[in-house]
Structure 1
Amino acid sequence: MIPAPPPTALDDNHGLAADWRRSLADAGPEAAQVLAALAASDAAAMAAHFYHVMMDDPRASRLLSHEQVRTRLQPAMQRWVRDLLCAAPDTVEGLVAAQRVVGDVHARVGIPVDLVTRGTRILKQRLFQSIAEQAGHGQAAHAAIASLTASFDIALEGMTLAYSSARDRSSRTDAAYRLFSLVQNVGAERERQRALLLDWENTLLYTLASQCDPLGLPSLSRSEFGLWVTHKGIPSFGESDETRQISALIADVDRALRQTQADGDDPRARAARLQEIRTRVGQIRSLLGMMFERIGEMDASCDALTNLLNRRFLPTVLRREIDLAVKSRGSFAVLLLDLDHFKSINDAHGHEAGDRALQHVAALLSQFTRGSDYVFRYGGEEFVVVLVSVDESQALAIADGLCRRVAESPVALPGGHTLAVTASIGVALYDGHPDYERVMARADAAMYQAKKRGRDRVVLADGTQPEAPGRVSLQRP
């Protein structure tokens, strides 16, 4: 016997909607009137109470700010409560679909499931009290409570289905990402990182030997090597004993460097501190070699045309950068770059010329970004650059430089011909919102404005740009 195919999200939606319609029919019109009255009188108070309780939990307060709650989340929760209380047979299909969207958002942001279930429990308890106060304890009140319980339970089930599906997809992608080397040649990357570490060490030796003030020397964690470890090394190799030891050793080196600065001109103290730093750096070098030897040469599952990272890894990278930004109180930026008039390039010069243009721009983006940054082929003629550990001025300077490099570097075509290309770039700085789709949407809106303002330019997302038409979410089934 051939097994039946697994149920789809559409099947789940129809099943939940059918259950919801039955519960509403069983409750009857009097219960619906009780709940509708409750929606009009209590929805705002319920939303405020929900977030008052939620923000007492340190996990929620780390993810959400009071400003976000006041301006965006509380009004959205008020609408959610009102929609559930006013549910009708002809609206439940849309309501079930809306719960799946909420579940997807919770998965992207990383809201713990127990916080959501606690919140719905608290809301139900308060709403039960309000029903008793407004409708007494008669048959209509009991039917309203039963209907309300069913609506909340079905809504939570729809959220949980979407949440589980999204988390499963994310886990699979994260696992693939950890097995994925992030570079085309592991041997070359190993030598590059060894060289960066050696360069930092040699700069330190020169600074101390020449009796210069080491205050101007960047800490190891802020060096190119340190940024690579934090933003690429650990995500690539995964959390392991080696990566944890390297992180701890980098912190030890930075502490010793600060103490060297405090030692002043005492040559013995400086010499002892320098030996301590060099010992730690040697241990880091050894651990780095062990990690690269274990990972070996891998098949880098990247974009076949440009050899850039595949966009399916973008949510993994953005989730980690948001987590790092929250922990370090830092920031990062997303650049969304679109080649101008790309269709006319294909039409006038053929698809081979278009492919050459994409490969040319991909090479420029890789060459003129830092080793700790990420460059993705986003799709078609679009690219995404994730600039780690930057502020607004740094992000704009890099974006302006990339825009200029593209414009000043024509594409070489067969026969000695060249093709001029330009790019429009939207820049969005991480604004503290826990959902990575938000920073992508802002970069997309800014890029769309760069197109409208004449192309071949950089536009910074400032919150005033309308959403770009036709935007597609990163999170796909």
Structure 2
Amino acid sequence: MTARSAPADAPVGAAPDAPADARPASPVQPDPGLLADWARRVGALSDGIRALLAVVVAEGGPAVADHFYGVMLEDPRAARYLDVDQVRERLKPSLQRWLAALLAARPGDIDALQATQEHVGQVHARIGIPVDLVARGGRMLKDDLHAGIRRHAGSDRLALDAIVCADGLVDIALESMTRAYTRSREAAGQVDGAFRLFSLIQNIGTERERQRALLLTWENALIYALTSEHPGPPAPLQISRSEFGLWFLHKGMASFGDTTETREVNLIAARMDSILRARLPEADTIAARRELLDELRAGADAIRSLVTIMFDGIGDLESGRDALTRLLNRRFLPTILRREIALQANTGRQFAVLMLDLDHFKSINDTHGHEAGDRALKHVAALLVDNTRGSDYLFRYGGEEFVVVLGSVSHEDAKAIAEGLRNAIASSPVALADGSTLSLTGSIGVAVQDGHPDYERVLARADAAMYAAKRGGRDRVVMDDGDLPDPPGVRALQH
């Protein structure tokens, strides 16, 4: 079962509070140069400057927050991200806490500071906040801080030193956010592109065999040329100019993305072409050309193996399809939820997320074996397909968890569909290999999109509702009412 973090505030650039996934994608190491710059700027804070900045934030923080969010709410684009209640209850206090932590930082706080800015940048990317709003927010904060520093400094020298320090800390915080924002947006763009390709590719196995055949065609042409008396110039024989090479450059890289395998294919192909250009003109004997051919064919074999690995990946897990249940896996869930959020914003049509967890699944594996567990998962997947609409998205989220995204539904519609799924599971035992049957039940949490732009929020709400169903006795549906306790194991990112 999943464990999600409680909501964590992301105040800068008009970002709303948003939960961070407790199981993030591949973590990225902080830039050592950036951490060194953090250390330098934090080290420049003298006791006098710290005391002055503390007074500025303590006395002027509420006014700074009022000005900041007042201007943000005047921008029509910010209406998607902000509402008055959210600003008053969460974001204004959060902004003041963020400023206080940033301007009072000590050397031991640097890792936490960097992690906070990374998290905020990821939230900005996830909800698609315009980056110029973030830059505007930073400019406004610095202007207000300058005015407060000049009021309280007592001397021009202290005011100047404090302004330089405050500007440096705000700037490096924004740089850290932007770095995380850019990385997250690029990753999301790659996944969105992969989803488009996945949606278009009807038979990945056919495409894989076609590319293997094109690679073999190039290899046969190479053999023919190098075993003839006059092999000709090297350029037409280069693998980068072959049909396979052109496909890999223009479509293969777009499909598979920047992976270890694609980088290795590029390196091997470049090395093969370099060897061909350098040695073919001098290979004036059969023996020399035979040696060259053997070396190039070894490279082709290596590329063929890598292509097989890549297609095997895109054919199951990397394609977004769970190998066991044939439902979508969680890879494309953010893509789908972002699209549904945009649809809701543009059309007003709500969507809902159902989080379903099979009850007592561990005991099924322990008592009946993993083969029975696999049968149960496939059985439930089939029931999901039979009891949902063609417009709904079905995911195996991980382990014994499933996620259903219901488009264009009301609160009542979502509850009715969830109850139908629960009843279908409870009334349809799974057949085991020995001819016996096993009764199943599921606990389902339901959250209807509330207009919040961060897809992690609706997931966390559905997750909390599912845990409430578990705590309430299992084999039941719980609708999120906005006031459920967090699921077990969550942690808030504190500023």
TM-score using structure 1 length? 0.71
Relative to structure 1, is the Cα distance of residues 472 and 340 closer, same or farther in structure 2, using a 3 angstrom cutoff?
farther
Task: Please name the residue that 2:383 is paired with.
Answer: 364
The SS at the match of 1:386 is strand
Aligned residue among 146, 150, 163 for 1:145: 163
Structure 1: 5+ residue stretches without partners = 1-7, 187-297
Cα distance in structure 1, aligned partners of 2:127 and 2:363: 39
1:37 and 2:40 matched: no
- Pairwise mapping of residues 189-338 of structure 1 onto structure 2 (< 5 A)? 299=315, 301=319, 302-338=321-357
Cα distance in structure 2, aligned partners of 1:100 and 1:373: 33
Cα distance in structure 1, aligned partners of 2:418 and 2:202: 24
1:330 partner letter: R
CA drift at 1:137? 4.3
Cα distance in structure 2, aligned partners of 1:472 and 1:33: 31
Higher mean Cα deviation, 462-471 or 161-170?
462-471
Relative to structure 1, is the Cα distance of residues 183 and 381 closer, same or farther in structure 2, using a 3 angstrom cutoff?
farther
CA drift at 1:36? 1.1
2:381 partner letter: A
Relative to structure 1, is the Cα distance of residues 121 and 50 closer, same or farther in structure 2, using a 3 angstrom cutoff?
same
1:65 and 2:83 matched: yes
Aligned residue among 88, 104, 108 for 1:90: 108
The SS at the match of 1:402 is helix
Higher RCO (C-alpha under 8 Å, 6+ residues apart): 2
Cα distance in structure 2, aligned partners of 1:304 and 1:375: 14
Higher mean Cα deviation, 425-434 or 36-45?
36-45
The SS at the match of 1:79 is helix
Task: Please name the residue that 1:342 is paired with.
Answer: 361
Aligned residue among 139, 156, 173 for 1:121: 139
Cα distance in structure 2, aligned partners of 1:148 and 1:140: 12
Task: Please name the residue that 2:481 is paired with.
Answer: 462
Cα distance in structure 1, aligned partners of 2:490 and 2:391: 28
Q: Deviations over 1:142-201 (max 9, x none)?
A: 111111011001100110111111111100100000111289789xxxxxxxxxxxxxxx
Task: Please name the residue that 2:295 is paired with.
Answer: none
Task: Please name the residue that 1:419 is paired with.
Answer: 438
Q: Deviations over 1:29-71 (max 9, x none)?
A: 2111111111211122212211111111111113322222222
1:122 partner letter: M
CA drift at 1:357? 0.2
The 8 Å contact of residues 340 and 421 in structure 1, kept in 2 or not, is answered as yes
1:440 and 2:459 matched: yes
Relative to structure 1, is the Cα distance of residues 471 and 422 closer, same or farther in structure 2, using a 3 angstrom cutoff?
farther
- RMSD, aligned CA: 2.0
2:81 partner letter: L
The SS at the match of 2:381 is helix
Task: Please name the residue that 1:211 is paired with.
Answer: none
1:355 and 2:350 matched: no
Q: Deviations over 1:423-474 (max 9, x none)?
A: 000000101111110100010000001001110000011122111023599x
Cα distance in structure 2, aligned partners of 1:137 and 1:342: 69
Relative to structure 1, is the Cα distance of residues 69 and 334 closer, same or farther in structure 2, using a 3 angstrom cutoff?
same
Cα distance in structure 1, aligned partners of 2:489 and 2:322: 23
Structure 2: 5+ residue stretches without partners = 1-26, 205-313
Relative to structure 1, is the Cα distance of residues 184 and 354 closer, same or farther in structure 2, using a 3 angstrom cutoff?
farther
The 8 Å contact of residues 334 and 427 in structure 1, kept in 2 or not, is answered as yes
1:174 and 2:192 matched: yes
Q: Deviations over 1:259-315 (max 9, x none)?
A: xxxxxxxxxxxxxxxxxxxxxxxxxxxxxxxxxxxxxxx957200000001201000
- Pairwise mapping of residues 102-113 of structure 1 onto structure 2 (< 5 A)? 102-113=120-131
The SS at the match of 1:426 is strand
Cα distance in structure 2, aligned partners of 1:95 and 1:356: 47
Higher mean Cα deviation, 418-427 or 90-99?
90-99
Cα distance in structure 1, aligned partners of 2:165 and 2:89: 30
Aligned residue among 98, 101, 113 for 1:80: 98
1:57 partner letter: D
